[in-house]
Amino acid sequence: MTIVFILIAILLFSFLIFVHELGHFLTAKWLGVQVNEFSLCMGPAIWQRKKGETLYSIRAIPIGGYCAMEGEDEESANPRAFTSAAWWRRIIILAAGAFMNFLAGFVMVALLLTTYSGFTDLTISGFFDNGQLEAQGLEVGDRLYALDGERLYLSNDLEMLAARDSDGVYDLTVVRDGEKVVLEDFVLQKDYYALDGQTVYLYGLNLTAEAKTVGTVLKNAWYNCLDFVRIVRMGLQDLLSGAAGLNDMAGVVGIVDVITETGTSSPTVGIGLLNILYLGAFIAVNLAVMNLLPIPALDGGRIVCLLLTVLVEKVTRRKLNPKYEGYLHAAGMVALLALMVYVTFQDVFRMIGG
């Protein structure tokens, strides 16, 4: 089954890249920008057909795809070139790829959640901690809202956010009778409790169950995606603060390895596929966020450059030479490729080292 899960991981990446390019393609068509070629996969073409102005291709290497727009990377006098479109149209086209990745992640989570029998709401239904939490001000009916200013969306958030602060003392915000109440210096630590004849390690409070409906599936899918965005943001904060380093990053090889390990270590093939679906959703939202970072060569960097160009040209009333932006994006691409090579080597060494 290992080979099967490796193939699934590769196809998952290909699907997410294809969806990203599909976002650029659909919005370019919608907004009147000429698309010269839209390709599924990369490498030599194995099938091509031209319909109107666009060449549709299927290529031999099952990785990703691309959307080649007129004037995207070169000067063009074509009035329907990408560079000839209004600035707001170009921003929509550039952002559409990330939007499609986010949408794909949302749909994948929603599909996964349809297999659940129900969900956990953050409203407290009771305690089994000998009154320690109640003595600090918590009440039955309170809805957990935030921990140290970080919003709590799902029950798993409590443990994830608490783990980032080892002293176990937090500012806990709850919603009580429709109003937010902040319980400062709240001690929240796990302990061992007897529950249904078993010893469990919990926070000492019970949360309300929530029935599965279309609304709760969509709500929890949305909250999961917001959690994914937060995890990416926290990872970037850790990188910038030095709490994490480049050696902690994983590239395509490392992620494929994680997906394969997730599939093979699951008790059944079905559960393995569901776990991979969840990982795929996280990767999709991760790609959406990362692609919108203001880094040259990424869509976010192109959007920032576009906005700066529009602003400078409005102020100076002079058109800037687009070749300088091209140089910037080229340098950014070289830097990103160098980072990818470094991270890939790290992934390989990590796999060899066991």
Residues 179, 231 share a domain:
no
Residues 175-194: what's their mean pLDDT? 89
The helix/strand/coil state of 261 is: helix
Domain edge (last residue) among 179, 211, 243:
211
Q: 233: how many CB neighbours lie within 10 A of its CB?
A: 11
Residues 330, 265 share a domain:
yes
Residues 282, 145 share a domain:
no
As given in the structure block, the two tokens for residue 132 are: 């320690």
DSSP states of 300-331: HHHHHHHHHHHHHHHHH--PPPHHHHHHHHHH
The boundaries of the domain holding residue 289 are 94-117+215-354
Place 203 in a pLDDT band, splitting at 50, 70 and 90. Answer: confident
Whether the per-residue pLDDT at 354 is higher than 60: the answer is no
Which tens digits make up the pLDDT trace of 76-129?
889 999 989 999 999 999 999 999 999 999 999 999 999 999 999 999 998 876
pTM reported for the whole predicted model = 0.90
Residues 122, 110 share a domain:
no
Question: Buried b vs exposed e over 261-275: b needs ≥16 C-beta within 10 Å?
Answer: ebbeebeeeeebeeb
Which tens digits make up the pLDDT trace of 287-299?
999 999 998 889 9
Backbone angles phi, psi at 174, to 5 degrees: -125, 160
Whether the per-residue pLDDT at 55 is higher than 60: the answer is yes
Which tens digits make up the pLDDT trace of 313-334?
889 888 877 777 888 888 888 8
The helix/strand/coil state of 191 is: strand
| Residues ≥6 apart with Cβ < 8 Å to 321 | none
Of the candidates 93, 165, 155, the one whose C-alpha atom is nearest the C-alpha of residue 124 is 155
Q: Which residue has the tokens 């210096």?
A: 185
Residue 206 is predicted with a pLDDT of 87
Place 301 in a pLDDT band, splitting at 50, 70 and 90. Answer: very high
As given in the structure block, the two tokens for residue 33 are: 């920008």
Residue 183 is predicted with a pLDDT of 94
Residue 131 is predicted with a pLDDT of 67
Residues 329, 315 share a domain:
yes
204, 127 in Cβ contact below 8 A? yes
